[in-house]
Amino acid sequence: MSHHLNRRRFLYLAGGATAATATAAAAWAGLLREQIKRGPSLTLPGIAGSTTTTSTTTTSTTTTSTTTVAPTTTSLIPGQGPRKPVLVVVQMQGGNDGLNTLVPLNGRYQDARPTLALGDHEMLELSGNQDFALHSALAPLLPLWETNLLTAVTGIGIPGQGRSHFTASDSWHSGRTDRGVTGWLGRWLDATASGPVNPLRAVSLGGGAPILAAQQQLSTVIHSPQNFNLYTPPNSDGETLTDAFLRVASPLSTDPILADAQQAIFSTFNALAALETTAGNPSPWSGEETYTTLLDTAANLINLDLGTEVIVVSVHGFDTHSYQRSAHEELLTNLADGLASFHQRLEADGHADRVLTVTTSEFGRRLEENGSAGTDHGTAGTQFIIGPNQGIIGQVDLDNLVDGDVPIYVDTRSMYATALDWLGGPTDEILGKKYDRLTATI
């Protein structure tokens, strides 16, 4: 995905569209045109130590131009600092089938799913628990269970969320009954902001993340880590454009709106340089990312100590209306491999004790399989938490369905409250009321 650093983007970062913004926009565009005409220069006037360096790497398949912003007095990306807690939200977009993920050992499950119900050879026993089993595709997660680091939350949902992708997703993203336009983590970003804006404080990998939508703070959205860079128009020289951007940003304007946009330039280029470090050798984007590749980038972000506190990772494909068995097995394999390798990286890098990982999906699936060897939209589902706890939270009552759906036993906001407590901040204010915190029991 190309990252467009344009006039609208910088002014959005600066705080909104007003008459003053329009004036600053015209001035900014004029400055940029002037600097492009001047041609490349490796010295940025007015800022001590500010230089750009360009290197070109050629492989048999790709040629990439890399621009690195040297450390300057205006860099907004923190270096080594306090080991703050990190929250990683792993989204299973489309509505994961919780019943075939954490399988209830109940005859009603087998009866309702004559072709989709898992057999004994397709399930994994959870030591200490007699009521549930894991889908065999989740075998990489068993060591986390055995070391008291995996919690499964079943029967989880938001009352009244509905079965539509749009309405259910809105409820899960907002985390409030009034929904609104901000996400639950976006409100946390606003409530706990301090110091210069850091575009890597919150990062979404694999696509947009409405849960990060904030009123004041920004986040960085990356569809493909391997292809995240400055957008260069056709017939344009990337080095000249980059150099022009940086010269426009120095010295800072006396106009506060334009000055904010200039600060955003430095912030964005530092972010680009840092993210390039995490991505390795770029390759053409295939149009699809796996949990393993995205979570590997997440681990790199955490290990580089860029001030990242929230990471959202998204993979689509969980809307399994037809031929679910093989597709769902592949999805869960993708999920388990990614989560397991991510945790191994965190342990190797010494960050496992400060990272909490939770999964989300906008709804579960109905108990009865449909006529297409799949399942339809339901309500309650199953989520996982990887952190300092182990056990099963919630329950699945298949004898008392609500209009064919598994009833909600755990409010999603309780999981959010637990995650926000991990990060630190005004949890109850962010969610609009006080919710019970989650406590796992085997």
Domain with CATH 3.40.720 in the chain: 86-223+289-431
Position with higher pLDDT, 162 vs 21? 162
- pTM > 0.85: no
Which range, of 170-174, 279-283, 294-298, 384-388, averages the lowest pLDDT?
A: 279-283
pLDDT of 429 reads 96
Instruction: Work out the average pLDDT over 156-165.
Output: 92
Least Cα distance to 365 among 415, 325, 314, 313 occurs for 325
Instruction: Give the pair of three-digit tokens for residue 268.
Output: 């964005």
Instruction: Give the pair of three-digit tokens for residue 131.
Output: 């009521």
Identify the CATH number of the domain defined by range 86-223+289-431: 3.40.720
Instruction: Work out the average pLDDT over 112-118.
Output: 96
pLDDT tens digit sequence for 182-202: 999 999 999 999 887 788 899
d(CA 117, CA 114): 6
d(CA 196, CA 263): 9
pLDDT tens digit sequence for 390-409: 899 999 999 999 999 999 99
d(CA 357, CA 155): 19
Q: In which element (H, E) is residue 2 found?
A: strand 2-3
Tell me the one-letter amino acid at 181.
Answer: V
- Packing angle of the helix pair 291-303, 324-349 (nearest 10 deg): 20
Position with higher pLDDT, 16 vs 401? 401
Contacts of residues 78-83 at CB distance under 8 Å and 24 or more positions apart, as own/partner, are: 78/198, 78/305, 78/306, 78/307, 79/305, 80/305, 81/305, 81/307, 83/351, 83/354
Contact 295, 355 (CB under 8 A): no
pLDDT tens digit sequence for 213-222: 999 998 888 8
Of 10-14, 53-57, 237-241, give the range with the top mean pLDDT: 237-241
Distances (CA, A) of 26 to 8, 22, 279, 396, 416: 11, 6, 35, 59, 43
Instruction: Give the pair of three-digit tokens for residue 182.
Output: 């901000």
Position with higher pLDDT, 266 vs 94? 94
- Percent residues over pLDDT 70 in the chain: 66
Strand pairing category for 150-157 and 381-386: antiparallel
pLDDT over 80 (residue 23) = no
pLDDT of 427 reads 97
d(CA 298, CA 304): 10
Q: How confident is the model at residue 284 (pLDDT cuts 50, 70, 90)?
A: very low
Q: How confident is the model at residue 107 (pLDDT cuts 50, 70, 90)?
A: confident
pLDDT of 127 reads 95
Position with higher pLDDT, 307 vs 117? 117
pLDDT over 90 (residue 22) = no
pLDDT of 266 reads 63
Average pLDDT, the chain: 79
pLDDT of 59 reads 32
d(CA 319, CA 296): 25
pLDDT over 90 (residue 441) = no
Among all chains, which residue has been given the structure tokens 């996982």?
A: 384
pLDDT over 80 (residue 21) = no
pLDDT of 261 reads 63
pLDDT of 337 reads 98
pLDDT of 439 reads 84
pLDDT tens digit sequence for 221-263: 887 766 665 555 566 665 666 666 666 656 655 666 666 666 6
